[in-house]
Amino acid sequence: MRQVFVYFLAFASLFGLATYNPLWAEIEAGGSVKADACAGDTTRLGVSRVVEIDATGGANIGGEKADAKHLLNDGEVVLSFDDGPMKSVTRPILKALADQCTKATFFMVGQMALADPDLVKEVVDAGHTVGTHTWSHKNIHVISTAKAEQEIEAAISMVSKVKGSPVSPLFRFPYLNSTKQTEAYLKSRNIGAVWIDIDSKDYRTRSPKVVEQNILAQLAKEKKGIILMHDIHPWTAAQLPDLLKELHDRGYKVVQFVPKGQVETVASYDAAAEKALTAKLAAKKANPMATRAIVWPMSPTPEADPASAGSRHKSSRYGKIATKPTITDGISEDSAPVKIPASKSKKAPKSKEEPSPWQFFN
């Protein structure tokens, strides 16, 4: 990979492309991650190119905060799915992507990864990029900086743990809500924040057709962009085969993000994640029929959510009903309470909120 990257740079400088933002590097037209069976198949969407992202020192990728304006060319899209994985939805999404030989980025919630470690591996094995989306989808705006850091680190350690290798340094803020402090924290951790350009608004409807139309209508206007979808909504999975076919037929090209490096996990969080995973596997062994799934109920007032699954706001600022995730299995929530250590950050929490104990199942 590094060799290819070097060759590209040499090639780029030869043809006067040195002005290309160094944050991004196209590494292989056609996409090195493409499965052989898909190579050269123009009847399917495929991956037109792979963009390697160097998140060293942090980065804002896509959306209005984008550090690199020319990341995507007209006609190019990036597919992204937040909030999962959730077997009943993620699996059909993986199938739809595979059927079109294309790749996406999944921003996983730590709790969801713990709920179904094997499913995380399925996503990874299919060649998709995996980033994180906090431990429990907290709105960063309404929690302390210390708590936000815990949310970020717990997800990174857990997803890395179940994935079997460090996760990519790509992060998406729940509800696209960031704070200056958490943005600075991500930079200090060499993690890139991935924003969005095209909002499927799949949290506002249950209609597959509407989700597809939302995406295609915005794309027709914007010409390109990072598309936000959620792999917790059945209607999102239901519309995906048709959406991908439409993207292909309309001439759009899919770009896959791949990380240049991997995020360095924090040892104390790794230990806590290991403990939680061990407890989870032991519980499953004791009761093989139990399937742990976290259910995000649909919000009754989805219009209030600007950019994410509108079901989990605890904040009254959105007029939402508090919707604590429900663990729907035979395992008591008390069966595996694991305390997460305080953040490695030495900074004192900005609020009086107790930074710990942090529990995986809270």
Binding site for Zn ion (CB under 5 A): 82-83, 174, 308-309
User: At closest approach, how far in Å is the CB of 108 from Zn ion?
Assistant: 10
User: At closest approach, how far in Å is the CB of 272 from Zn ion?
Assistant: 22
3-state secondary structure 269-284: HHHHHHHHHHHHHHHH
Cβ proximity of 235 and 205 under 8 Å: yes
Give the CB-nearest residue to Zn ion. 308
Q: How far is CA 45 from CA 99, 244, 278, in A?
A: 9, 7, 40
Question: Judged by CB, which is closer to Zn ion: 225, or 310?
Answer: 310
Question: Judged by CB, which is closer to Zn ion: 178, or 335?
Answer: 178
Question: Judged by CB, which is closer to Zn ion: 147, or 260?
Answer: 147
Question: Judged by CB, which is closer to Zn ion: 162, or 309?
Answer: 309
User: At closest approach, how far in Å is the CB of 83 from Zn ion?
Assistant: 4
User: At closest approach, how far in Å is the CB of 79 from Zn ion?
Assistant: 15
Nearest to 216 by CA among 206, 204, 233, 229: 229
H-type alpha helices, 164-266: 180-188, 208-222, 234-249
Residue 243 region by backbone torsions, left for phi larger than 0, else alpha for psi between -120 and 50, else beta: alpha
User: At closest approach, how far in Å is the CB of 3 from Zn ion?
Assistant: 37
User: At closest approach, how far in Å is the CB of 320 from Zn ion?
Assistant: 14
- Beta carbons within 10 angstroms of residue 326's beta carbon: 12
Question: Judged by CB, which is closer to Zn ion: 155, or 309?
Answer: 309
Question: Judged by CB, which is closer to Zn ion: 229, or 272?
Answer: 229
C-alpha 343/C-alpha 151 separation (Å) is 9
Cβ proximity of 105 and 80 under 8 Å: yes
- Is 204 strand, coil or helix? coil
Which residues are registered as beta bridge partners of 257? Answer: 51
